[in-house]
């Protein structure tokens, strides 16, 4: 991977007025370097499958953007293969591609990567009968672009389904970054805000800074402010007080997984805001693609939650913000019980309690 | 004010095993520079009343330590006056002292400064009949030391009253820094932990980092770890998840003010933790000196809460953590309704609901 100031302006991006954190141009995948935001806007260019695998492993991309990147990596592998001498046969190319897919997915691919790679594998199978390997490589590239466009399309449908929930002129509180930066473009929770804004609802946005990685202040504030949203950043601990004093019309957050009973597994901090919203009788909405619905997960409590154990909380930049030998250990996700969720907004519709009955219709 | 590596070890400190954030030695008041903790342990030496006023105004000292510093400033003024030629008469000295007290207190002294300065004023009045001004200056210095010692004594009584609430071997969660660093020494919430530890209850401590000023990770972790406590730092947003999974025996926090109905005005983030503790059925205890009980404040909602509006959330050290032109605006305190408070621990006793009846007995 190398850094650059980014692809030229005419680079592929789903729609001009929407930010996409990954762009495909002439066989190179450009990823915005989220670690450097908001101080610098730097694009990482991935020119090989290994570059993409490294970017995924190092968490340089998040959310459904990971699936899009995985699809582009397969297209990249196909392009590289047909540039070789001797030219592989369509069958040889498909075997090569299957190997690459296994490598990207790893032993336990996340649902997002799994879905994207299944699309690519199917495309490879269908196009195997193609007369020449170039056609197969072209089909795989077209499919990767389609995987990306479908992801943006899902976000747009989430936005369309959820926009009417945003009271006109209201302040909407959000946690983390369920935005364009965590998707192919448009975003889930922030997609609803974008669509609501496009519909003239003039939402103002109150963003929890969302420690430890400051996804709210670094990323959500950045992507909304560049589009002219009215954004106010608050400390995570202030959300409850701000909700209690009646400033907020509704809360909209994203989700990593939604269990069959409607429990929401999301970025740590989500549950605390859900409790505060409930106490203040402010609606709490969860936005997620249908792919995040996990009907095999009966309850959120059954989800495996990663425990972080490291130095995330000890320094920011050069500044030491805790004793050097302090221990920090915390769950990186939390579970919001379905009882605190006013509605779940997906690309296929809006579900309200009882979720056990409403959710299968969305799947 | 000048920086130094601190007063000699034999400097006044209430008890050797307890940390005091301010020390009085040979007419100089040493304050630990909390802004530089935990990276550096630097003491600021105040040699004039103006130094102390500046330290208070710049929020270099917090909590009841402010009252102690104010008292020492008066003693400092008296020492300076009796070093002058010609020597002032006791009456002249008392007038000088009254002027200094008015200057330190300002037009609207906080309750803490008000109380400490009232002690000093009374001492001045009582000692006015002294034969010479040196005796009056000595009486004022002795009174300042007593004001400090009384503050530590109150914290010790809070610790004594609250220690039995800490389940043996339990993890105790706290927010902010209601510690030695916010008092003459020992601390309120952390005073309970210190006493519980001295009694063999072996509390482990889970500290919310407490944005925006990181009072938990910078100060609470520092002051507890230097005494050998087992400390784990978590992001503020993780407190609800950590409470929900059953890891915490009880929550103990400090308070800025407690209203007559038991509502607690405290550092922003306290209310969010109270909600989460209630949802998880974990006891939520509030520690405060009787001086913080404000029976004239009927409800917490009536308290004036300062709104911060600035760049606190935009940078940490040199690192830019939000868009440069972002707006941050939030209340620096919040109100925890009495219904979420399991017990209030003061130096005069322990009150439980209904607080309206229990609290006047503590006052």
Q: Which of B214, B240, B327 sits opposite A321 (nearest CB)?
A: B214
- Determine the 3-state secondary structure of A301 from DSSP: helix
> How do residues A76-126 score in pLDDT, each as one tens digit?
999 999 999 999 988 899 899 999 999 998 777 777 788 889 889 988 887
- pLDDT of chain B along its 363 residues, tens only? 677 665 544 344 444 456 899 999 999 999 999 999 999 999 999 999 999 999 988 888 999 999 999 999 999 999 999 999 999 988 899 899 999 999 998 777 777 788 889 889 988 887 767 778 899 999 999 999 999 999 999 999 999 999 999 999 999 999 999 999 999 999 999 999 999 999 999 999 999 999 999 999 999 999 999 999 999 999 999 999 999 999 999 999 999 999 999 999 999 999 999 999 999 999 999 999 988 899 899 999 999 998 998 788 999 888 899 999 999 999 999 999 999 999 999 999 999 988 888 877 776
Is the omega angle on the peptide bond into residue A86 within 30 degrees of 0, that is, cis?
A: yes
pLDDT band at A14 (very low <50, low <70, confident <90, very high): very low
Tokens of B28: 């100089």
Q: How far apart are CA B221 and CA B216, in angstroms?
A: 6
In chain A, pLDDT over 90 holds for what percent of residues?
75
Distance CA B56, CA B64 (A): 11
Q: Is B87 on the interface with A (CB under 8 A)?
A: no
- The CA distance from B259 to the nearest CA of chain A, in Å, is 17
Residue A4 pLDDT: 66
Give the closest residue to A227 by CA, choosing from A27, A45, A16: A16
pLDDT at A9: 40
Q: Do A313 and B237 touch (CB under 8 A)?
A: no
Q: Look at residue B15 in the predicted model and tell me its pLDDT.
A: 44
Q: Which residues of B touch A321 (CB under 8 A)?
A: 38, 209, 214, 217-218, 316
What is the residue-wise DSSP string for B259-294?
A: ETTS-EEEETTHHHHHHHHHHTT--EEEE--GGGEE
Q: Which of residues 224-263 of A touch B (CB under 8 A)?
A: 225, 231-242, 244-245
Q: What pLDDT is attached to residue A148?
A: 96
B347-B351-B355 Cα angle (round to 5): 130
Beta bridge partners of A294: A259
Q: If you average pLDDT over residues A210-227, what whole number do you get? A: 96
What percentage of chain A carries pLDDT values higher than 70? Answer: 94
Per-residue model confidence as pLDDT tens digits over A132-154 = 889 999 999 999 999 999 999 99
* SS3 letters across B96-114: HHHHHHHHHHCCCCCHHHH
Which tens digits make up the pLDDT trace of A254-307? 999 999 999 999 999 999 999 999 999 999 999 999 888 998 999 999 999 989
The three-state secondary structure class of A13 is coil
Please give the C-alpha separations between residue B251 and each of A211, B190, B207, B269, B276, in angstroms, as whole numbers: 21, 11, 10, 13, 10
Provide, as residue numbers in chain A, all residues whose Cβ is less than 8 Å from the Cβ of B240: 269, 271-272, 275, 334
* Whether residue A187 has pLDDT greater than 60: yes
- CA-CA distance, A232 to A239, in Å (whole number)? 12
What's the length of chain B? 363
**DSSP H helices in chain B:** 49-57, 65-82, 90-105, 111-126, 133-162, 189-198, 221-225, 239-244, 270-279, 355-362
Q: CB B330 to CB A212 under 8 A?
A: no
Within 8 A of B271 by CB-CB distance, chain A residues are 240-241, 244, 276
CA atoms within 13 A of residue B54's CA, in its CB half-sphere:
12
Q: Specify the pLDDT at position B166.
A: 98
> Does ipTM come in above 0.90?
yes
B132 catalytic per annotation: no
Strand order in the sheet with B349-351: A307-309, A327-331, B231-234, B204-208, B171-174, B250-254, B284-287, B343-346, B349-351
pLDDT reported for residue B242: 97
Strand A2-4's sheet: what is its strand order? A2-4, A43-46, A28-32, A22-25
Alpha-carbon span A173 to B351, nearest angstrom: 36
Quick one: which H or E segment has residue A356?
Answer: helix A355-358
Of B241, B268, B322, the CB nearest to A271: B241
For residue A1, the model assigns a pLDDT of 66
Are the C-beta atoms of residues A326 and B224 closer than 8 Å to each other? Answer: no
Q: How close are the terminal C-alpha atoms of chain B, in Å?
A: 37
Window A:170-229, CB contacts with B under 8 Å: 175, 208-212, 214, 217-218, 221-222, 225
Which of A233, A317, A334 shows the shortest C-beta gap to B322?
A: A233
Residues 6+ apart with CB under 8 A from A75: A24, A27, A120, A137, A140, A141, A143, A144, A145
Taking the C-alpha atoms of residue A331 and residue A28, their distance in angstroms, rounded to an integer, is: 36
Contact status of A346 with chain B (Cβ, < 8 Å): no
Catalytic residue among A18, A51, A151, A256: A256
Check pLDDT > 90 for residue A169. yes
């Amino acid at each position: 991977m190398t850094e650059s100031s980014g692809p030229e302006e005419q680079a592929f991006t789903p729609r001009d007025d929407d930010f996409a954190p990954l762009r495909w141009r002439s066989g190179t995948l450009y990823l915005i370097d989220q670690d450097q935001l908001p101080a610098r806007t730097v694009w990482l260019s991935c020119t090989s499958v290994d570059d993409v695998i490294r970017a995924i492993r190092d968490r340089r991309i998040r959310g459904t953007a990971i699936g899009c990147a995985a699809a582009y990596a397969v297209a990249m592998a196909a392009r590289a293969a047909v540039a070789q001498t001797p030219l592989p046969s369509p069958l040889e190319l498909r075997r090569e591609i299957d190997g690459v897919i296994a490598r990207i997915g790893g032993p336990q691919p996340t649902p997002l990567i799994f879905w994207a790679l299944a699309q690519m594998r199917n495309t490879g199978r269908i196009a195997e009968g193609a007369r020449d390997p170039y056609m197969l490589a072209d089909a795989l590239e077209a499919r990767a672009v389609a995987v990306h466009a479908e992801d943006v399309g899902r976000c747009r449908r989430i936005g369309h389904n959820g926009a009417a929930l945003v009271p006109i002129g209201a302040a909407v509180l959000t946690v983390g970054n369920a935005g364009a930066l965590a998707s192919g473009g448009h975003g889930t929770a922030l997609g609803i805000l974008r669509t609501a804004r496009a519909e003239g609802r003039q939402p103002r946005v109150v963003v929890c800074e969302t420690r430890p990685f400051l996804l709210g202040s670094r990323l959500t504030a950045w992507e909304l402010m560049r589009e002219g949203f009215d954004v106010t950043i608050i400390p995570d601990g202030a959300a409850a007080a701000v909700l209690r004093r009646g400033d907020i019309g509704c809360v909209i957050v994203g989700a990593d997984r939604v269990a069959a009973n409607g429990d929401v597994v999301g970025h740590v901090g989500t549950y605390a805001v859900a409790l505060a919203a409930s106490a203040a009788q402010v609606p709490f909405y969860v936005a997620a693609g249908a792919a995040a619905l996990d009907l095999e997960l009966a309850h959120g409590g059954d989800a495996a939650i990663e425990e972080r154990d490291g130095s995330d909380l000890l320094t920011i930049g050069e500044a030491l913000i805790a004793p050097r030998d302090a221990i920090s250990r915390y769950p990186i996700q939390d579970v919001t019980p379905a009882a605190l969720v006013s509605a779940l907004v997906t690309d296929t519709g809006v579900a309200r309690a009882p979720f056990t009955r409403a959710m299968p219709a969305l799947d």
